[in-house]
Amino acid sequence: MPHTMNDKFRLGLVQTACAADPNQNLAKAVWKIREAASRGAQIVCLEELFRSEYFCREENAELFALAEPVPGPTTETLGVLARELSVVIVASLFERRAAGLYHNTAAVIDADGALLGTYRKTHIPDDPCYYEKFYFTPGDLGFPSFETRYGRIAVLVCWDQWYPEAARLAALGGPTVLFYPTAIGWHQHEKEQHGAAQRDAWITVQRAHAITNGVYVAAVNRVGVERTLEFWGSSFVAGPFGEILAQASTDKEETLVVDCDPRQVEEVRRNWPFLRDRRIDAYGPILQRWGA
């Protein structure tokens, strides 16, 4: 029977450590997607920039060589896999759009292997060891939703996850799930003093997006130590009332497989009708940088 809008579907979140060799990382991703599919996952999301170590730790023009066109070699490889397994794949890539023009881009590949579309990361950080403004042009595709074979989804990327505006605009496209491919961790010299609070804030803000928008949120982070950054994993799925349905460890490679029920979105929104009570006539000032 064909999949309908209200049918349950199963999410797969692939949390891994990344090696220096992009081909090794792609091979691992293929293996992990197969594992998730064997456990029933129908929409599988990889972590941010999964093909490489997190190269934004430094500003180095030679690292632009890691970029590739989208569509391109990786989407082609994953497209073949998606079609074979009948799974949807969300893949975060370093996109070379043109000479000197690069994006941090998430590709959505449908279960027939076709590239449904892309989302380009909108909010670009510039912090110690997260020098993304050197590499990435801010996204210019808005906050699209994608009607996949199994359900409607939207994708935001890492630093986007701190912005309620991005979550709201993505949610207004009607997705059941907001995916957040991520690469976030501790500076090792800060971990003892601030680490628990930083990780807790990361989880809390995304649970809040699930609650205020009545959607599932799936955050997919990497693990492992890359020089002075220790990525904290903790990939998780929150339900539309913010409840954590599954969560991975801070330091191990894991694949989470979690059921997602669009009817739960309907149920929560009927009882907590935040979308009904929005005052869209009153929100004009949000377009200003600061108050009057």
pLDDT at 284 over 90: yes
Query: In angstroms, rounded to a whole number, what is the distance separating the alpha carbons of residues 97 and 88?
Result: 23
Q: How many Cα neighbours within 13 Å face the side chain of 274?
A: 15
> Domains of the chain, with CATH numbers?
9-287 (3.60.110.10)
217 contact partners, CB below 8 Å, separation of at least 6 = 177, 178, 180, 206, 207, 209, 210, 237, 238
**Nearest of 34, 19, 43, 54 to residue 182 by alpha carbon:** 54
Residue 237 Cα distances to 1, 34, 154, angstroms: 27, 20, 14
Amino acid residing at 123:
H
**pLDDT tens for residues 84-97?**
999 999 999 999 99
CA geometry: angle 133, 134, 137, nearest 5 deg: 55
Which residue is associated with the tokens 């701190």?
A: 162
**pLDDT tens for residues 30-79?**
999 999 999 999 999 999 999 999 999 999 999 999 999 999 999 999 99
Reported as a pLDDT band with limits 50, 70 and 90, residue 246 is very high
Q: Is 148 helix (H, G, I), strand (E, B) or coil?
A: coil
Query: In angstroms, rounded to a whole number, what is the distance separating the alpha carbons of residues 89 and 148?
Result: 10
- The strand pair at 244-247 and 9-15 is best described as unpaired
> Which residues are designated catalytic?
48, 121, 158
- The reported pLDDT for the residue numbered 1 is 67
Q: Supply the pTM of this predicted model.
A: 0.97
**Nearest of 114, 49, 128 to residue 78 by alpha carbon:** 114
Which residue is associated with the tokens 């108050």?
A: 291
**Nearest of 133, 61, 139 to residue 97 by alpha carbon:** 139
